Structure 1
Amino acid sequence: MATLLGAQSPLRRVAIFGGTHGNELSGVFLVKHWEENGAEVQRAGLQVKPFLANPRAVQRGSRYIDCDLNRAFDSAHLSEEVTEDSPYEVGRAQEIQRLFGPKGGADACDVILDLHNTTANMGCALILETPRDDLLIQMFHYIKSRLAPLPCFVYLIDHPTLKYGTTRSVAKHPVGIEVGPQPQGVLRADILDRMRRIVGHALDFIQYFNEGREFPPCSLEAYQVTEKVDYPRKKDGEIAAMIHPSLQDQDWKLLNPGDPAFLTVDGKTIPFEGPGPVYPVFVNEAAYYEKGEAFAKTLKVTLSARSLNCPAP
């Protein structure tokens, strides 16, 4: 595996992003709380910064102002000249790049924990952008062990055409945290508590790593995205069918060819078509209607990480 920035030396800069989407309130309220009372997230030897990523969207209570901030960190957006007519999120992306980047640079933030809620029944999910990050595979393995018996799934978004420039991608080690189900613009105490626990375990792992604790080689079950599935549509582009009741809320569970996938208003079942079984995620996610995504197909894979042992200071 390739040498990973930060994996052989202590991690010093950690950011916790909330409000990348302004209507996903668990992260918004946790970050605001930690901005005022940060003792809970501080760890010895670490600079931990809670950060509201899209404050205008948070104020408005919307996902974004002009465009999705979590899709604005590709090279085109980050190098675009910002004018008064530019989308707000493009300028904000470049500001975040200056504060926590540069993306891919030696001075970039070591870890960004990017907090999200989903309306889908995904429970606790950790999003991994590459299967070659030993540090994060070890971190996710640790978090899953600390949350048990509460399930925690790993969603691998490494794909040549489906991967996108996330807000957290300016960090050397980007961590997406999705917890649901939670409606947009709504707070749920149980969902917020689970997110809070994940953040705490992530920070504990980083502290233990910095202190020189040895983490032996490990393996990790993950679900790798292969394709996004749109809703059936009419000729004019309008949605022609909804998620079938037998698929609704069945994230991470096996979907076989021929199983019911969609249901028309007049009661016609449309089966899932494909060469083999998949594991659907983000099933009927409210924010993805505009993206033409009813669910994402994933395949189960096993990731491996080498042992980690950062020399203690």
Structure 2
Amino acid sequence: MSHTMRVVEISKPGGPEVLKPASRAVPVAGHGEIVIRVAYAGVNRPDAAQRAGTYAPPPDASDLPGLEASGTVAEVGPGVTRWKVGDQVCALLPGGGYAEYVATPAVHALPVPKGMDLRAAACLPETYFTVWTNVFERGGLQAGERFLVHGGSSGIGTTAIQLANARGARVFATAGSAEKCDACTRLGAARAINYRDEDFVEILKAEGGANLILDMVGGSYVARNLSALALEGRLVQIALMTGAKVELNLAQVMMRRLTITGSTLRPQSLEAKARIAAALEREVWPLLEAGRIAPVMDREFALGEAAAAHAYLETSQHIGKIVLTVAG
């Protein structure tokens, strides 16, 4: 391994243009860690929020953006028994994915699913960790229930539609164009709702209400989500794209026995994320290997084009995932 590596760093808080190529020392694997030679790195909304200065990394994490990657194990730290140098993995990262090498807890790495290449595997960790823990663990989605996911054509949305459908739920999704709605139905949504000219509240009410809603919009959507829920329905909040402060009619929550919950992934403990990784390998990896579900890829950019990747992400034109090619 070289002693230095190419990276993309955040030169100052701001727009995509503040992402700058740089050179840094290659990380060393600490106790319980592996170092991955990165082939591809996922590009996600939290990366853009960190770049803008609104989502600081944890104190012990790299200041480089990048929360997921795929590649080859380049170094194994003390205490690691599962992985060896040369293994192909994809991993949830504490940060640092926009680089040729990245260190991460070994328990947050997963084998590349059989039959899948590294490019596709880079699309898995951030979205699958998020969807599994929020939809199935926190949200408790069961077969036969009605599930609504907002932003159905996003990386989170395309993952949630497929997983929920594969596990027997009836899926509804919102999206902002006919093309995106078509993508949602092809992935398994029973009904895709164009939020620009249709009211998801009325549509879900006509179906009996949603048992579970996964929302990353926030703001005015929160009250509308509560109206769209069935009796004893659950709302899981995972992002706040239009605002965190809302007014709620708590009488509605009480009388209809609704549940409002939510989570963020990055601040959770090493042990909590290791439990999610184990659940994914047990419950979801067989579906990926059988071809019943698959990551949806929109576009890839070279590592040095990270600024262009962020600019594209923020247009919201993409369907599925965006990745950076590092050594692929």
TM-score, normalised to structure 2, is 0.25
TM-score, normalised to structure 1, is 0.26
Could you say which structure has the higher helix fraction? 2
Could you say which structure has the higher strand fraction? 2
